[in-house]
Structure 1
Amino acid sequence: MIEIGDMSISAEDRVRAYGERLFGVPRSELVLQHLAGDASTRQYFRVFNNEASYIAAVYTEPLDAQAHPYCDVTRLLIRRGIPIPEILAISGEDGIVLQQDLGDLRLQDWLEGAGEEAKRDIYRQAIDIIFDIQAATGAAYEMGSIASKLAFDEAKLLWELRFFYDHYFGRYRSEVLAAGDKELIDAELVEIARELAARPRVLCHRDYHSRNLMLKDGRLFVIDHQDARMGPISYDLASLLYDPYATLRESLISDLYDYFVERLAARQNTSDNAPNRSTLLMVSGAAEAGMRAEARAETGAEAGKGIAAGFRVVDAGDCRFAEEDFRKEFDLMVAQRMLKAVGTYTYQKTICGNDIYLRYIKPAIDAALKAMRQLNRFPALQKAIQAELEAS
């Protein structure tokens, strides 16, 4: 007999043992379908019981249902009405989360047979969800969610960029740059991280792309949300529009960018007329004692939480929107996000022996270079990447 919490057995055996306890079906008769995962250590199974099916996410170790990031962020997003799979049952001892089955149709797959108008409509829905996620910023603080305690600060952004440098130039390209060139590039990476870290912050999904958006009954659902955290307003938009898994046409990207900006300006106007304190922006930077006291007096406990985390909590209406300023942030965010993606893809190849992401390196690199050229900045980084492209 398999004991509850026996982590020495396989993920499939754990699911079968849990299914037997949960459904009363002998484990040998339980029908499972092992699903392909992504770049994580989790395993996924579709579990069939009578006419119903469920998805079992199986972790490598036991989990605390109250504190685990996936469970925590799920509670937050469900409360705010974000379309995500519901958690149906949890076995913390077995490291299993049983959740709603959304089927197999990812946005990435749906795009293959879709026309431009259909793509435009579905991506506008995806952008609407970004705004819904951002509107949950205040709730994240009210609930004490782990997402309110994590942020794309300078250290995190820079770690990702240096991860790109090490795995793209070092391990994947086996390139040893001259010390002077390496110093120039690192200085530019610091610039990117520092400037993005100083931007206003909202709640971000953190991995918002076509592999993490599912379609069920014509409706978009969001998955893989456990890493949600505070970041620049443009973060999820950059991830969505320059998604290497999708490679949208530039005309469609431009149209969708304009749609986002129009909605952002409309949110600004709404905040100007009737401030909504459930929609909060986070302004980074060290706060002096006087500002801390002022912020606490204005917004009470929420401000206290924000200041404790190193941010000031302010209303959306207090942040003036300027499209030119936002465009610069967006291009900077595209550069950082795409370089980070290249770091992940090359890590998967060189460390994990996983070739599946190789085809996505080029579109990610192209998007990062385009953004840097748009900004007319980071010449050392551009030169080094271009040299690698020409040599490959």
Structure 2
Amino acid sequence: MERLDLLKAWVAGLYPDTAFEVEFAAADADFRRYFRVVLPDGVSRIVMDAPPDKMDTEPYVRVREVFAMVNVPAILARDAAQGFMLLEDLGRVTYLSALQHDEREVVHKHLLLEAVDTLIEIQRASRPGVLPEYDAAVLTRELNLFPEWFCAKELGQPLNFAQRQLWDAGVKALLPALTSQAKVFVHRDFIVRNLMLTPGQPGVLDFQDAVYGPISYDLVSLLRDAFVEWDEEFVLDVAVRYWEKARAANLPVPADIDAFWRDFEWMGVQRHLKVAGIFARLYHRDGKDKYRAEIPRFIKYLKKATRRYGELAPFYQLLVQLTGPDEDDASVDRVFSATRLASGKA
């Protein structure tokens, strides 16, 4: 029986003798899919479909309890053996769609500051020993997705000896700065696609991979997005407002705003390298091209950040060798287009 048929049969068991409709709602980058169940009275529920041979729903259940201080979906029913979960429906409007619908800066800032308030609530509840550690080993494993999948697969340019030396020098400079940041609960994908426009505070989704790690990580996720890009002045303004709110909440951010901004940018370098690798892997390993076109944005983020700090110069030199000296979107896109045409991957 197909997964969708199994899902419908499971829902029918939850709502016997009830006519309901099932419609596709969303899909994650991994193997999870979400369906909306609409009941005769108009009430809707979300069903998570997580094939048990590929996904484990236990982390979702565990982190949902940890993040219960914010607006996360209630779990109404669960079948761990089949990989189904019935969830509260937080609506149809993501922050991404709301931001795209209304491009006024004042609206964007209002929504992002609401998200910042939610993030601070999560961080205020932080304590060690609850979530997995986001330590040097995990951060390094994520970094290595860049040479493995972006360089070798997306560009068809495995790092040569000299480039590997640049890479190693960049990692050696970057990692200590990340692991020395104060640690809090980290959602790990606190992006506008995973926030819902709901009454009161935003709804928070896709939190099952949460960890205990660097305090600047989730703010980077929010402000350096794959699908929405803001200018530097706007990002700095929201980052400063987060920093002020975090200090007022007694969160362990640096006392100096310049030090915090440096932490933010250096954390961004790790995340951008990881994301470029993940998006390349999704295409080349998993056949998913939804995110591939967004890779150039992260290369641009990387170039801007790594050229500002002398310690990160090895990364900048490597990026220039791989994608050219210009950092505007058009030039990066040209490099990617030429590479794909030459490899027959366009």
Q: Does TM-score exceed 0.5, indicating one fold?
A: yes
The question of 1:124 aligning with 2:113 is answered yes
The question of 1:246 aligning with 2:233 is answered no
- After TM superposition, give the deviation of residue 191 of structure 1 in Å: 2.8
TM-score under structure 1 length normalisation: 0.77
- After TM superposition, give the deviation of residue 206 of structure 1 in Å: 0.6
Query: What SS class does the counterpart of residue 57 from structure 1 fall into?
Result: strand
Partner residue in 2 for 1:84: 72
Partner residue in 2 for 1:3: none
Partner residue in 1 for 2:299: 365
- After TM superposition, give the deviation of residue 63 of structure 1 in Å: 11
Question: Over alpha carbons, which structure has the higher Rg?
Answer: 1
Taking the aligned partners of 1:237 and 1:320, their CA distance within structure 2 comes to 14
- After TM superposition, give the deviation of residue 217 of structure 1 in Å: 4.0
The question of 1:16 aligning with 2:5 is answered no
Partner residue in 1 for 2:244: 262
Taking the aligned partners of 2:184 and 2:301, their CA distance within structure 1 comes to 24
The 5 Å alignment of 1:1-392 reads 9-25=1-17, 30-50=20-40, 51-61=42-52, 68-78=58-68, 80=69, 82-114=70-102, 115-138=104-127, 145=130, 147=131, 150-217=132-199, 219-268=201-250, 316=252, 321-390=255-324, 391-392=335-336
Are the equivalent residues in 2 in contact too, given 1:63–1:93 (CA < 8 A)? no
- After TM superposition, give the deviation of residue 229 of structure 1 in Å: 0.8
Taking the aligned partners of 1:25 and 1:379, their CA distance within structure 2 comes to 65
Taking the aligned partners of 2:151 and 2:115, their CA distance within structure 1 comes to 34
Are the equivalent residues in 1 in contact too, given 2:254–2:260 (CA < 8 A)? no
- After TM superposition, give the deviation of residue 135 of structure 1 in Å: 0.9
- 1:244–1:186: structure 2 CA closer, same or farther, 3 Å change rule? same
Query: What SS class does the counterpart of residue 16 from structure 1 fall into?
Result: helix
Please say which of residues 373-382 and 338-347 is displaced more in the overlay.
373-382
Q: RMSD in angstroms over aligned alpha carbons? A: 2.2
Q: Deviations over 1:327-380 (max 9, x none)?
A: 221111011111111111111111112221122111111112212122233223
Are the equivalent residues in 1 in contact too, given 2:240–2:257 (CA < 8 A)? no
Question: 2:238 corresponds to which letter in structure 1?
Answer: L
Question: 1:23 corresponds to which letter in structure 2?
Answer: Y
Partner residue in 2 for 1:273: none
Question: 1:354 corresponds to which letter in structure 2?
Answer: K
Are the equivalent residues in 1 in contact too, given 2:303–2:316 (CA < 8 A)? yes
Taking the aligned partners of 1:95 and 1:13, their CA distance within structure 2 comes to 13
Question: 2:9 corresponds to which letter in structure 1?
Answer: A
Taking the aligned partners of 2:272 and 2:192, their CA distance within structure 1 comes to 15
TM-score under structure 2 length normalisation: 0.87
- After TM superposition, give the deviation of residue 248 of structure 1 in Å: 1.6
- After TM superposition, give the deviation of residue 249 of structure 1 in Å: 2.5
Taking the aligned partners of 2:267 and 2:142, their CA distance within structure 1 comes to 12
- After TM superposition, give the deviation of residue 320 of structure 1 in Å: 6.2
Query: What SS class does the counterpart of residue 333 from structure 1 fall into?
Result: helix
Are the equivalent residues in 1 in contact too, given 2:306–2:315 (CA < 8 A)? no
Are the equivalent residues in 2 in contact too, given 1:63–1:95 (CA < 8 A)? no
Taking the aligned partners of 1:250 and 1:240, their CA distance within structure 2 comes to 14
Are the equivalent residues in 2 in contact too, given 1:107–1:213 (CA < 8 A)? yes
- After TM superposition, give the deviation of residue 21 of structure 1 in Å: 1.2
Are the equivalent residues in 2 in contact too, given 1:338–1:365 (CA < 8 A)? yes
- After TM superposition, give the deviation of residue 136 of structure 1 in Å: 1.5
Question: 2:224 corresponds to which letter in structure 1?
Answer: Y
Taking the aligned partners of 2:243 and 2:198, their CA distance within structure 1 comes to 28
Are the equivalent residues in 1 in contact too, given 2:143–2:274 (CA < 8 A)? yes
Partner residue in 1 for 2:327: none
Please say which of residues 98-107 and 115-124 is displaced more in the overlay.
98-107
Partner residue in 2 for 1:285: none
Are the equivalent residues in 1 in contact too, given 2:95–2:195 (CA < 8 A)? yes
Taking the aligned partners of 1:73 and 1:256, their CA distance within structure 2 comes to 27
Taking the aligned partners of 1:105 and 1:64, their CA distance within structure 2 comes to 26
Are the equivalent residues in 1 in contact too, given 2:195–2:202 (CA < 8 A)? yes
> How many residues are matched?
324
- 1:320–1:362: structure 2 CA closer, same or farther, 3 Å change rule? closer
